[in-house]
């Protein structure tokens, strides 16, 4: 997806505002951050895609990601999800 010049300017302004807030904030510790991601269904591909979006968003904000958690029962038991978390969260 290609951004328009206006969208690029808005994104840069938002990133600059975020960077300024981070620079001005000292000794702020966040232990938990709650995000909501809407998925079409509870299938592994949908959950993987949602996890990837959340991981990418947090990393783009410069935040470390040590653990991702979903509220869907048995979400983390799929081999694909375990592999995703092992490679994205623990090594990324």
What is the predicted pLDDT for the residue at 88?
59
**CB hemisphere CA count around 11 (13 angstroms):** 9
pLDDT for 84 equals: 59
Question: Higher pLDDT residue, 32 or 7?
Answer: 7
Q: Which residue has the higher pLDDT, 14 or 76?
A: 14
Q: If DSSP codes are grouped into helix, strand and coil, which group holds residue 58?
A: helix
- What's the chain's length in residues? 92
Q: How confident is the model over 5-21, as a mean pLDDT? A: 87
Q: Choose the weakest-confidence range: 16-20, 27-31, 78-82.
A: 78-82
Query: What are the pLDDT digits (tens) for 21-75?
Result: 877 876 667 677 778 888 888 787 887 888 888 888 888 888 877 777 666 545 5
Asked if 53 and 85 count as a contact pair (C-beta separation under 8 A), the reply is: no
pLDDT surpassing 80 at residue 6 = yes
User: pTM for the complete prediction?
Assistant: 0.49
- Return phi, psi of residue 58, to 5°: -65, -45
Helix (H) or strand (E) holding 24: helix 5-24
């Amino acid at each position: 997806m290609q951004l328009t010049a206006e969208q690029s300017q808005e994104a840069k302004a938002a990133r600059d505002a975020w960077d300024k807030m981070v620079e001005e904030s000292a000794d702020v510790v966040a232990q938990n951050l709650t995000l909501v991601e809407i998925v079409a269904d509870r299938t592994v591909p949908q959950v993987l895609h949602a996890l990837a979006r959340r991981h990418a968003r947090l990393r783009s904000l410069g935040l470390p990601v040590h653990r991702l958690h979903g509220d869907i029962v048995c979400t983390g038991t799929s081999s694909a999800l375990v592999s995703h978390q092992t490679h994205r969260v623990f090594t990324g």
